[in-house]
Structure 1
Amino acid sequence: MVDQQVQDITRELMGLNRVIGELTSKVATLMQTWEHNDREATEGRRRLYQKVEDMNARVGELAGRVDSMGKEVAAMKPSVDTFDEQRQQSIGSEKTMTAMRAAFYAFLGVAGGVIVKLIELFWPPKH
């Protein structure tokens, strides 16, 4: 009976050793997986931070370009205002010339009409 009990205990110990070995293997696998995921997450964060830094640099460059363009536009504003003023003067001159031509042609028409009436009155001479 003692031999039987020793064999039973030995079998149970072997079973416990097997279970402990499986648990140890699973814990080791979990630790490796955790370490791998942690390395991947660290690398992902590093890439993300690098992209954010690159974006910040680009935004800084764009801000500089916008400031530069603002200065260029401010420098061009007097020229644009002068051009617009000259354009408005040109439009006014064209309208004035059109009105003067119309008045001149009207004057010529009236003068021609007066001359025709004078010719009708005095030509042919009435004897």
Structure 2
Amino acid sequence: MSEQYVVDLQEIDESQVAVVGGKAAHLGGLLGVEGVRVPAGFCVTTDAFRRIMAETPSLDDRLDQLARVDPDDRESIRTLSAEIRRTIEEIALPDDLARAITQALARHGEDDAYAVRS
């Protein structure tokens, strides 16, 4: 089975937490509730997240370091957080993942759609 990187909200229900994360699964579930308005949108899946994490081991290492920092050590938290942010900003999305997101945006229109990150 090939990975799925983007799923439209109307294809999601609350049984798919492992695929899309809790927020998106609950939003998809709300689509079936009469009187609740949920805007059209899509979710970038946990497969996409796992792929990026696998291709960026330094990010996982820094997140592990951050988890072990004393909560009162604000300077270490600030430093590691800045490193994590730089690492995330430098990630180049693989072409197929970028294409899947771009196609979802085109289906929904950039102004009308929003992505729910898992």
TM-score, length basis structure 2: 0.22
Q: Normalized per residue, which structure has more strand?
A: 2
More contact order relative to length (CA 8 Å, sep ≥ 6): 2
Larger Cα-atom Rg: 1
TM-score, length basis structure 1: 0.21
